[in-house]
Amino acid sequence: MKNVLFTTTALAALAIGGVASAQGISLFGDARLGLGYNINNDGSANGEEDLRAISRVRFGVNMTGETDSGITFGATIRADNARGGQGDDTNGMSAGNVFVSGSWGTLTYGDTNAADEQWVGDIPGNLSLTGLGDLQETFFISNGGSFGTDNANNFASNPFARPTVRYDFDIAGFGISLSSNRDLTDVVVGAGYQADFGGGSFGIGVGYNNYKSFRQTVANGLSVCEDGAGGLTTTCNAGDDVFTIAGADSTSEVPEGEQWSAAVTGDWENFGLGVVWTQADSKSNDFVDGAKFGTIGVGGTFGWDAFTVGAYYVNIYEGSDRLESYDGKSAYGLTAAYDLGGGAQVAGGVARTFGRDELFQGGNLIQRDQDADTVADFGIKMAF
């Protein structure tokens, strides 16, 4: 994997060695305003069951150029992510992306999809104003994905999944991608095929990620219960009142493992449909228990005139060890949008989050239960 990436990078660098021409810089942006129920400004659930004003504005820049030999190159960055685009000494580039492209394919670095996400993607059907937590997004370990907003058990939250290095090549509807993480330890492969069929189109995508162990920072807090003698204990039982004492952040290890994923999508006239499946298995080692999770989701859209409605459903059909509290949990949403023209649309939706059960290991409470939340938003989206 390393040899392929390094060789491709070297060839691209040689190709760009000549004088560049056809350079261009263009601005882009988006904004929104509206109302949110039970959500923070970013669309994530806040559990306060309140109604509040929500708004946001962002802008960025696309940069493109072309060498005398016909190699195109460019970069994209949002202004609010400029610091991450610079890349610090330790973590490297964590926002924006940089690419070179030619007849040999495209090489992309930075905050970009890994090979599996590039071809499998997310469940369709979320047209809401804020995304409402984007619960229809697929949990790709290659993307540092995790379940909900649970900071204590973000099994898949790899802090070094970014920057990503990805190579893409496609021909006649077929495509393949290879990628790795910042440390070039993971091997990620994605492939797919897209074609016209029956007056519409369909696509098939598959992905595989062989990832090495990684350490993540956990926003920690000590969970304690009353011990029956007026004191506190960390040994809690189901039904006990649990108190959290703030504590310093700590690190935990996620053992190496692999993740498979697949998707089937289709569009026919006014209808769009997609089904996405994933299965991940992190192996146990001498120090840490592994964990498995599996997800299946379906979503779709239907449009007529300026209206489009969407819906999605995703189920965590398997969760073991550290993810046991998510086993069997589901999230779903119903959304809609009306195109006003000129890049503006009225959008909104209502969704139900995953929730989770209490998780005990060795008599200790590892994770508190959390009821599923109902969240909603409504307002105007703007694209510039």
Cα–Cα distance, 38 to 330 (Å, whole number): 18
Structure confidence at residue 232 (pLDDT)? 64
Check residues 151 and 60 and name the one with the higher pLDDT. Answer: 60
Under the banding of pLDDT at 50, 70 and 90, the label for residue 239 is: low
pLDDT at 4 over 50: no
Rounded to two decimals, the pTM is 0.82
Check residues 62 and 292 and name the one with the higher pLDDT. Answer: 62
Q: Are 62 and 10 in contact (CB under 8 A)?
A: no
pLDDT in tens, 278-300: 999 988 877 677 788 899 999 99
pLDDT at 350 over 80: yes
Structure confidence at residue 164 (pLDDT)? 92
pLDDT in tens, 167-201: 999 998 999 999 999 999 999 999 999 998 888 99
Instruction: Give, in words, the CATH class of 30-58+116-161+174-383.
Output: mainly beta
Check residues 173 and 338 and name the one with the higher pLDDT. Answer: 338
Give CA separation, 338 vs 55, 152, 213, in Å.
Answer: 19, 39, 45
pLDDT at 155 over 70: no
What is the percentage of the chain residues whose pLDDT exceeds 70?
A: 78
pLDDT at 151 over 80: no
What is the percentage of the chain residues whose pLDDT exceeds 90?
A: 58
SS3 for 32? strand
Q: Are 358 and 238 in contact (CB under 8 A)?
A: yes
Nearest partner of 154 among 285, 277, 251, judged by Cα: 251
